Amino acid sequence: MILDLLLSLPALVIALTVHEYAHGLVAYKMGDPTAKYSGRLSLNPMDHLDPVGTLCLLLFHFGWAKPVPINPMNFKHQRKGVILVSLAGPFANFITALIFAFILGAMGRFLTANTLTVFLYQVVQYVMVLNVGLMVFNLIPIPPLDGSKVLAEILPYRYRYRMYELERYSTLIFIAFILLNNRIPFLGYLSRAVLIFIQFLVGLVF
């Protein structure tokens, strides 16, 4: 368990930090300076990590970071802004996973196996896998996850309002979702599909 924590902690810090930073950066580019003025337009993990959420991620592989404050009223194009900001976090996780996958490929190609390189290889592998997992999880269309915000902006207005109304029941929905996923691990299936795609891209180079 201690080894698992040593391997997963840097991966979680990286995954959560790039996810929240990407939300704030795209919001700023779309005209909303709220994240910048709140000190959240930063790659400093301490600005984003929620102690309880991080602990839950380490122990139960289910948790959260401090959400980056966003004011959609500041966006130049509100609907487009909400969609792009919502997708920015998962997309940043995908790019991070892809980068670390290429690092893995280079390590396997050029480094000699020893205790240190094997440990580093496992750390890099954790970063790749957890970024994919965080991406897939956040794209679930359940409030307040990123996928729900994208879906709400795509839906007609009357359905969008009902989608946001579901947020008050998000805790119960999450519990039901976790129980269902324990029986049918479709998040695992989706994550593996993304990892296979990433490995295919890496295989084109190494």
As to burial, measured by CB atoms within 10 angstroms (0-12 exposed, 13-18 middle, 19+ buried), residue 14 is: buried
Q: How confident is the model at residue 187 (pLDDT cuts 50, 70, 90)?
A: confident
Cα–Cα separations (whole angstroms), residue 206 to 106, 113, 119: 7, 17, 21
Cα–Cα distance for residue pair 124/114, rounded to 1 Å: 15
User: Hey, what are 85's tokens?
Assistant: 């900001």
Judged by DSSP in three states, 204 sits in: coil
Q: What's the rounded mean pLDDT across residues 114-132?
A: 90
pLDDT value at position 53?
75
Which amino acids are annotated catalytic? 20
Model confidence at 176, pLDDT cuts 50, 70, 90, reads confident
Maximum pairwise Cα distance, the chain: 60
Most confident of 106-115, 125-134, 165-174: 125-134
Give the confidence band of 74 by pLDDT, cuts at 50, 70, 90: very high
Could you tell me which residue, 38 or 6, shows the higher pLDDT?
Answer: 38
The answer to whether 59 and 117 have CB atoms below 8 angstroms apart is no
Stretch 55-78: mean pLDDT: 80
> What are the residues whose beta carbons fall under 8 Å from the beta carbon of 196, sequence distance 6 or more?
none
DSSP 8-state symbol, 112 = P
Mean pLDDT for all residues in the chain: 86
pTM (two decimals): 0.88
Share of the chain above pLDDT 90, in %: 41
What are the tokens at 194? Answer: 């993304």
More confident residue, 11 or 182: 11
